[in-house]
Structures are given as structure tokens and as C-alpha cells.
Amino acid sequence: MKKKTVRDIDVTGKRVLLRADLNVPFVPGTTTIADDSRIQAVMPTLKYLKKRQARIVLCSHLGRPGGKVAKELRMTPIAFRLEALLGEPIIYVRECVGSLVRQAAEELQEGQVLLLENLRFHEEEEANDSAFAQALASLGDVYVNDAFGAAHRAHASIAAVTRYLPAVAGLQMEKEMRMLSSALDNPARPLGAVIGGAKVSEKIGILENLLQRVNRLFIGGGLAATFFKAQGHDMGSSLVEPERLGLALDILRNAAQLGVQVFLPQDVVVAEAVVPEAPARTVEVGRVPGGWHLVDIGPRTAQLFGKELRLCRTVVWNGPMGVFEFPRFATGTKAVAETLADLNGAITVVGGGSTAEAVEELGLAHSMNHVSMGGGASLEFMEGRELPGIANLLDKDAA
């Protein structure tokens, strides 16, 4: 179902309650912003609204203060960064509801931005509390959700608030929905999915949903170990989920029935321990030494995946191919990222927090058609689940 966006409504001069995902990472132990991509991501919507003289009431959560005020999680550093990016002062109030906030919202001039305090200083936010949502809603005439990264949370500023105001998507949210849903619902085929990460149990939803949609499925990462174990291979001390062996076989059986071509690794990198400097070598699947751990796909597999991925016209990717945090075990992940970055004439969509991080670290994010900033939300989207932050927005064809 297509959703209305900020482009579909009249915002001129209106008071807009804008929910963003300004939950930036800090340099550990400080309030120095380590990466401001999430702030950058809301700039197009902010500028769009400012141009139309909207009065913008901007809000977000930050970290996990657990319903109490936590000094180190105030929005102050974000306020400064917003001012730097906008090139003008904004108003920042150290509360998100109450009479002072109400007054500040009422006094907003056209095109001005008012930043509210961390929503999670109130436990009502995560409890999806109606009264709290109503108090937030009273600050605006319309509600714009540009927080795709929080869209999977049924929290007051995401879900309950939409009961009280007309709700539409911001421009970043629109882009996330468009890119993810076109790749999954209406892709140029063949559609390939590359799935990695640590565990099968974390990828069941995505594997089951994608099986119904893809033409080719590439499985790497730690979860491959459970598939191999299910096929009767000895996986040494690799992370195997014994209670998921049946599920792994079901997935392979379903794939065969659905005509989905599955590619599993042929050679794998194994290490004596999962630590950066551990002795490591490449072996054929089926020859994992006792006590050793699967840590990456091997070079032949990387080549095979590369060759077969090049035949796809759309590729979605979630989950690193190995323990990419350690450079020696990042080779397979790098190879897949480079293949996707080089795919000419194909659409490439990357989702998942760690996968996005890997692609960014490699400097290849701009070579993909879309790298979701959604983390957990992108994962749930790829699982085919309904996200509260999207479901509650007005439908495009509604009056």
C-alpha cells in the first residue's frame, strides 16, 4: 500500500510535528557525535518544510535512558549539529511536552525549527501511551514521520501519535519505502538475495519471506554452518544451532520446490579461534578441522557468488559473509560488496545495521542504489512484516 508523503499535503505555514531518527552514535564516553548521517538524512525534509514556511517541531529519541532524564543523552549536541547544517539558529527546549513546550511551539515563526528534548526521557514514549502521544500531537497541525530507523517500534511518537494528527511520510522515509519495496515487490529479475550474519535463528523471517520472492539465494556468514551441519558435514567448533537443523533443511527443500536456486559456500575460511590474529586457513566445506571455527567464505566461493550475482538484475543484501569486524575475515564481505558496487544496470539494495556498516567502511555505500539507514527496521521490512511507523501513515489513495 502506497503511503502519503509530505509532498501530498499542504504544509505551507502549518505547524509540522516531525519525527526523525536523530539517534546518532557518540564517541564512547563522550557526547561528541561519531557519525552524523542520521542528522544529514532528515535535512531534505527539513529543507522542504522550511522552503514552504512550515513551523517545524522536530523530535527524536536518543539512546536508551529508560524513561528518565539522563544528562548525557540530552539533545544538545544534536541541536548544535543541526544549526551547523542548517546554517542558522534553531530553538531547543529541554522538554518534549508541557506548557513551556506548547508555548515555544505556538511562538514558532514560519520556517523556524524547534527541537524537543529526548522523547525517551518519558517512559510513556516506549509504552505507546495515548496521553503522551496526544500531548505531542497538540504541538502540530500535521505529523510527518521521517524516522524509518524507528518505524518498527510501536512507540508513542511513532504509533499512537497518528491517532491525533494526519500522518504522512517524510522524504527519507519515502525513499526507504520506495527502494526496499520496489526491490522486494516489483523487482527486475532475476532477483538475488545475499543473506549472511551470525545465526539462522536471526534470519528465519527474512529467509522465509525472501524465498517466496527471489530467483537466487546466496547464503554465507555464520548461518551457513547450520545448513552444512544439517547436510551432515562436521563443522568443528563453528557456531551451529542444533535446534535449527530441521529448519535449514526445510528452507533448502522449499527453495527447490519454489525453483529458487540456492548457492552455499564451497570453500570456507576457518580459524583456530574467533580472534583477530588466530591461525586461519581456507578449506573445502566438509573438511573443517576439529575445534576450528567458520569465519568467512573462501575465495572460490567469493568468485562463484560474484559470477552468479552478475546475472541478477536486482540484488538485496543482508548480513556480512564473515566476521568482518576482523580485517583478516572481512575478505568475503568485501568481495560481495565490490561485486554489487560494480553491477552495471542492476539495482542493489543493502539492509541491516552491520551490513550497512560494512559497506560504509569499505567506502562503497555510494556505489549501491540504496543502503538502508534503518538497521532493525530494514530487517523487519525485508521479513515482510508490517511496521507500525508505516502502517499508520495515510494511504496514498485515501481522500
Q: Interacting stretch for ligand ADP, rule CB under 6 A, among 21-29, 209-217, 302-310, 320-328? A: 320-328
Task: Give the type of residue at 221.
Answer: G
| Nearest CB to ligand ADP, comparing residues 63 and 353 | 353
Query: Quick check: 396 and 2 in contact, CB under 8 A?
Result: yes
Cell of 53: 514556511
| Nearest CB to Mg ion, comparing residues 93 and 373 | 373
Q: Is 198 in the site for ligand ADP (CB under 6 A)?
A: yes
Size of the site for ligand ADP (CB under 6 A): 21
Among 17, 229, 32, residue whose Cα is nearest residue 136: 17
Q: Interacting stretch for ligand ADP, rule CB under 6 A, among 14-22, 70-78, 254-262, 349-357? A: 349-357
Give the catalytic positions in this structure: 38, 199, 353, 376
> In the sheet that 347-351 helps form, which strands lie side by side, from edge to edge?
261-263, 216-219, 191-195, 314-318, 347-351, 370-371
Q: Is 354 in the site for ligand ADP (CB under 6 A)?
A: yes
Q: Is 322 in the site for ligand ADP (CB under 6 A)?
A: yes
Q: Interacting stretch for Mg ion, rule CB under 5 A, among 39-47, 99-107, 258-266, 348-356? A: 348-356
| Among ligand ADP, Mg ion, none, partner that 83 touches (CB below 5 to 8 angstroms by kind) | none
How far apart are CB 352 and Mg ion at their closest, in Å?
6
Q: Interacting stretch for ligand ADP, rule CB under 6 A, among 114-122, 167-175, 197-205, 256-264? A: 197-205
Question: Which residue in the set 352, 374, 388, 389 belongs to the binding site for ligand ADP (CB under 6 A)?
Answer: 352
Question: Which residue in the set 314, 331, 354, 378 belongs to the binding site for Mg ion (CB under 5 A)?
Answer: 354
How far apart are CB 8 and ligand ADP at their closest, in Å?
32
Q: Are strands 55-59 and 113-115 parallel, antiparallel or unpaired?
A: parallel
Report the residue closest to Mg ion, judged by CB.
Answer: 354
Query: Quick check: 315 and 334 in contact, CB under 8 A?
Result: no
Per-residue contact flags (x/-) with Mg ion for residues 201 to 240, judged by CB under 5 A = ----------------------------------------
Query: Quick check: 244 and 208 in contact, CB under 8 A?
Result: no
| Among ligand ADP, Mg ion, none, partner that 323 touches (CB below 5 to 8 angstroms by kind) | ligand ADP
C-alpha distance from residue 308 to each of 39, 124, 263, 387 (Å): 37, 49, 9, 32
How far apart are CB 173 and Mg ion at their closest, in Å?
21
Query: Quick check: 139 and 102 in contact, CB under 8 A?
Result: yes
Query: Quick check: 228 and 264 in contact, CB under 8 A?
Result: yes
| Among ligand ADP, Mg ion, none, partner that 184 touches (CB below 5 to 8 angstroms by kind) | none
Cell of 317: 543484501
Q: Is 157 in the site for ligand ADP (CB under 6 A)?
A: no
| Nearest CB to ligand ADP, comparing residues 239 and 273 | 239
What's phi and psi for 275, nearest 5 deg? Answer: -135, 155
Question: Which residue in the set 23, 118, 331, 355 belongs to the binding site for ligand ADP (CB under 6 A)?
Answer: 355
| Among Mg ion, ligand ADP, none, partner that 355 touches (CB below 5 to 8 angstroms by kind) | ligand ADP
How far apart are CB 359 and ligand ADP at their closest, in Å?
10
How far apart are CB 323 and ligand ADP at their closest, in Å?
4
| Nearest CB to ligand ADP, comparing residues 170 and 374 | 374
Q: Interacting stretch for Mg ion, rule CB under 5 A, among 157-165, 261-269, 281-289, 349-357? A: 349-357
Q: Is 353 in the site for Mg ion (CB under 5 A)?
A: yes
Residues within the interface to ligand ADP (CB under 6 A): 196-198, 202, 221-222, 239, 294-295, 318-320, 322-325, 352-355, 379
Residues that bind Mg ion (CB under 5 A): 353-354
